[in-house]
Amino acid sequence: MHEINLACIVGARPNFMKMAPLLRAFESYPNVNPVLIHTGQHYDANLSDVFFTELGMKRPDISLEVGSGKHGVQTARILERMEQTLEEGTADGQPYDRVVVVGDVNSTMAATLAAVKLGIPVAHVEAGLRSFDRTMPEEINRIVTDSLSDMLLVSESAGIENLRREGHPDDHLHLVGNVMIDTLQRLLPQARERNTLREHNLEPGQYGVVTLHRPANVDTPEVLARLLDVLVETSDRLKLVIPLHPRTKQRIEDFGLAGKLSDAPGIVVLPPLGYLDFLALTSQSLLVVTDSGGLQEESTVLGIPCLTMRPNTERPATVDEGSSTLIGSDAEKLARHIEQILSGDYPRGVVPDLWDGHAADRIAKILVNQS
Ligand code: UD1
């Protein structure tokens, strides 16, 4: 068996729960040598470090420490440092056989570009998703990453159709399921044993969880103010827990909206949470309001109603089969659907095919067979 050297790239929070199951799956193949490279796009302890501990993932072998910046600056820094790192090869000087990227963040796209320019083939995990909304930075990242990758590992069937339409040959496409759900299934029992609900004075099924961080919802004062108003009104009847992403916290302060939340006794504002506390909260909630892609998928598997604050989704299975409804940034529609959930009249949906906790095993097998 020949040695297979893989450069495995992570950068931002949603990457960690996707890479962790892959690293575990590679352990079954003694000839696979995964080198974990962290770009440093996310660097705060609660957006990054806590996940390595909780997901049982090894610390990065290499950290590029690029930090925050405008898209061009951040992407350029990753490109420059990643090119050098990939060129250097593994610790014992072996060249990389392949780069493995996950998701759709700036780190995903920049690492892909650096790799293919060096002639290193790229496997993209979570390939083929399309919102068809090019105002979203993640959509640009998805399009660029997929167009340059030759192993496209797809989480839901719409992804296969999108990639075929874009002209990718069938032998590059693999419907493997959802690696994020591998992590959820593994850690759900552990999450439910935690004290998280008691710590925040919450009863199972009697609160909602809210996460908002996308520019479309949080970067315009009027939009953000209207959304916060609906949340404050709802909190009279249903406690709402809001773990605040640093970007959202900053905007709320910049726009002078902090008082809205602090004056509402039914709203519990928290810092960004680790994986286990967050899963403890979502899995026992009555409803989720979010603009996160990953949380749409997790709610679908948990059967928790999910009101998605986006006009579109690159994850159509969460709407067509799962428990998510698209709300856009429409505050009235949000209020109506919260009402529907409170009255107990909301469909729970079904779990999409292959979201079964074994996606990473399928991916590892394909990677080993084709390297
Ligand atoms: C990034 C991803 C987004 C993902 C999100 C999850 C892109 C284009 N966006 O968005 O797809 O859903 O991560 O969290 O890649 N900041 C900190 N601490 C950190 C990192 C960032 O305070 O550790 C602040 C900085 O002010 C920074 C801002 O958050 O400017 C935005 O960070 P950035 O990584 O550019 O994008 P996210 O909004 O986190």
- Cβ–ligand 1 distance for 81 under 6 Å, the answer no
The residue whose CA has the least distance to atom 21 of ligand 1 is 42
Average pLDDT over residues 283-289: 98
**213 assigned to active site:** yes
Tell me how far the alpha carbon of residue 73 lies from the centroid of ligand 1, in angstroms.
Answer: 13
Q: Which residue has the tokens 């440093």?
A: 40
Q: Which of 43, 138, 247 gets mutated to test ligand 1 (max ligand atoms within 8 A of its CB)?
A: 247
Q: Are 272 and 46 in contact (CB under 8 A)?
A: yes
Q: Please, which pLDDT band fits residue 183 given cuts at 50, 70 and 90?
A: very high
> Average of pLDDT values for 224-245?
96
Distance CA(264)–CA(258), nearest Å, equals 11
Whether residue 186 has pLDDT greater than 80: yes
Q: Cβ(285)–Cβ(265) under 8 Å? A: no
Question: Which ligand 1 atom is at minimum distance from the Cα of 247?
Answer: 29
Looking at per-residue pLDDT, the higher value among 11 and 329 belongs to 11
Per-residue pLDDT tens digits for 36-62: 999 999 999 999 999 999 999 999 999
Rounded Cα–Cα distance for residues 334 and 212 (Å):
13
Q: At the fourth CATH level, which superfamily is domain 4-177+355-369?
A: Glycogen Phosphorylase B; (3.40.50.2000)
| Bridge partners of residue 34, in order along the sequence | 6
Long-range contacts for 69-72 (Cβ within 8 Å, ≥24 apart)?
Answer: 71/106, 71/137
Tell which CATH classification among 3.90.650.10, 3.40.1280.10, 2.40.30.10, 3.40.50.2000 matches the domain 187-342: 3.40.50.2000
Q: What is the dihedral of CA 210, 215, 219, 223, to 10 degrees?
A: -60
Nearest CA owner, ligand 1 atom 22: 246
Catalytic residue among 213, 245, 337, 358: 213
pLDDT, average across residues 249-268: 96
Mean pLDDT of the 237-256 span: 96
Cβ of 69 less than 6 Å from ligand 1? no
User: According to the model, what pLDDT value does residue 200 have?
Assistant: 95
Instruction: Record the tokens describing residue 355, joined without a space.
Output: 């979201």
Ligand 1 midpoint to CA 12 (Å)? 7
The pLDDT assigned to 189 comes to 98
| Domain residue limits, the chain | 4-177+355-369, 187-342
Q: What is the pTM of this model?
A: 0.96
Q: Do domains 4-177+355-369 and 187-342 have the same CATH topology?
A: yes
